[in-house]
Structure 1
Amino acid sequence: MRQEHALSKLISDPPQSDSYDLEPAAPAKQPEATRIAVRGHILFTFVILLLLALAWKLTKELEILYVSALFAVVLMPIVNSISKLQIRGRHPSRPVSILILLVGVILAFTLFFTFGLPPVLRDLREFTTELPQRIPAVVAKLKRIPMADHIGIESVAQRTEGALSATAGYLFTSLPAWLSHMFDILTALFLCVYFMLEGEYAYHFFLSLFSREHRPRLNQTLLKADVKMSKWLLGQGLLMLILGVASIVVFGILHVRYFLLLGVLMGLFNIIPVAGGIFTILLAALVAALDSWTKMAGVLIFYAIYLNIENGFLIPRIMRSSVNLMGLTILVSLLIGTALAGIVGALVAVPTAALITVLLEEYVVQKA
């Protein structure tokens, strides 16, 4: 009886021991979780491929969108400066400030296309026509220099003539093609205005895609990149304008042929460090040499003086130490931007390089 009682108690109240596994169903759940994870990875990969295909299909539209957003970021400091002005005791609102900026830009472009562009195109047409006829005169002058025959003056002149003629012809013939994209330019202009009006909402939505602990660091990094892009673009534009105006004035005083065209090229190519200045000053010196060695010497002396003024006075005060893009970075970004998107790519190449540089310095570069 005692044995039967002990056996029934053992069955009804089993001993609590670690040898018993009371949850045998846990391993059975693992395959189901694995299947869910695999399906999630497949779906994520499919979505990424679909987005890449959509981006490839909408390359042009994304390009316009990116250019508009970038220029809105660069122009916002100007809008903020205008909004701080007092007009009849009131500060203009953001829409009014944007309107004032647009009116100023449209007025500047109107003056340029009305008074500035026609003389430049006339000089470009004459330069393209007269260059093949004047190269032999320059070669004859250069042959008088000692040891000129040993460096192949004629072959160098022929190659230079072909390169300059091809460049000038491309600039002249491709201008109508650039102007044919007026619809894209207007679209980018309207998008830029909307970004300046409502860009803060889009920016906060972009930050909301990241976790809360990562948002402050990303926000500070993007604000730093914004300052760097704006200062570089505005500063470089001012340096290009100064060099272009100074070149036009000096070349005009020296009575250099096509001085308007050469001054514009001097300003435009100043965006390319070292190489742009060397190319344009050699071109200006060659054109001046078509008339006399005195004009050529005047052009070279002017550029030498300006280069010292720019490096010693203008760049330290315009660019400041906060804008420290290396010349190699600028050159590589211009090459890549031009190869990917032509003129538009060249316009946004350096600001994009500034953005990438700030992101790399913050998240990739290992600081000691």
Structure 2
Amino acid sequence: MQLEGLKVAMVALSPVQGGTVIEPLSTSAALAVRGVRQVVNERDVVAVVADDTWASLKGLAALGLRWNDGSRGAVQQATIVAELEAASRRPGAIAGHVGDVAAAMAGAAARIEAVYHQPFLAHATMEPMNCTVHWRPDVCEFWVGTQAPDRAVAKLAALGLKPQQIRLHNQLIGGGFGRRLEVDGIVVAARIARHVDGPVKVLWRREEDIQHDQYRPFYVDRLAAGIDAHGMPVAWLHTIAGSSVTAVYSGEPLKNGVDDDAVDVAADPVYALPNMEVRYVQQEPAGVPTSWWRGVGPTRSVFVVESFIDEVAAAAKQDPVKYRRALLKSPRMRAVLDLAVEKAGWGTPMPARHGRGIALQFAFGSYLAQITEVSVRGDGELRVERIVCAFDCGQAVN
């Protein structure tokens, strides 16, 4: 975006949510850099306004920023994980229920248990956060790629901007993956721009982009299954503990205590389980913002369900493909499984140190089976040799 008189502002945000910059700043050192025009200090975010990106970066480095982390400076991931572990042991809200799990588990021939951790994940968009703003007394113009322009207008009200004062020119989002459902970058840009005379392009360095993302939550999934004498599942208990991106994004409490995104796929698996209970426990991580991430709920639930069904099949000493096939509810899912098995050559001999794995997914109205062949090198390094995917999305409508 090129506008007459356009300046560039690189930002630095407090490394810890709620932190503030330690003053005084070395403003004179930054202003001594050729091309630097202005330093903007909003306490939790600092920007150097310059003629070009390089000058702004050099000016930002010259400031020698130090930060007061505030009350959340002592937050550690180990503490967050321990809290999630404890939450996964609580009863939670019931998201899916079939039969009598307690009775079936009590009568099972064997019990299999597993706990899965899934870490915080950044969006890592192709294009770091950026927004061009021209703040004027009567109107404020934005040039930005956003997935939620109405949300941006609503959030900008905190800066005193009325909807009729805002002109938002929506651009390509640079690979948003859900990151640009959030509008924090737009608000930060506006906070900087109100101190600048003329248009300014506000840019985040990649480091800022990763460190100040709105992350996919860290989840802890606790599962238990009971199998009969033939190795078939008679009971399935699954508790999911993690942040509720639905509640965080909407600002509203959950209906019946269940986050539909967190339990998507898990609450209604592709397998016919005679006795099943899926629970959800909302546990928000202190000091870590969370939000929607790429393919949302199924990106996490499919991994857990498919990993655990593998563990149950192994405990039953059964082939993971045959085990899955015997439990499938849908003929369409059975068809994609059979096709993937045929094309991948499941069961045929493989070279030494090679293995195959299988996973199924029903999400967004589509059926998918995927088989991956992996090798293990002499030094222990894993290499994906081949992936075979069978997919049934129904009739495609443009």
Q: TM-score, normalised to structure 1's length? A: 0.25
Q: Which structure's residues are more often strand, by fraction?
A: 2
Q: Rg: which structure is higher? A: 1
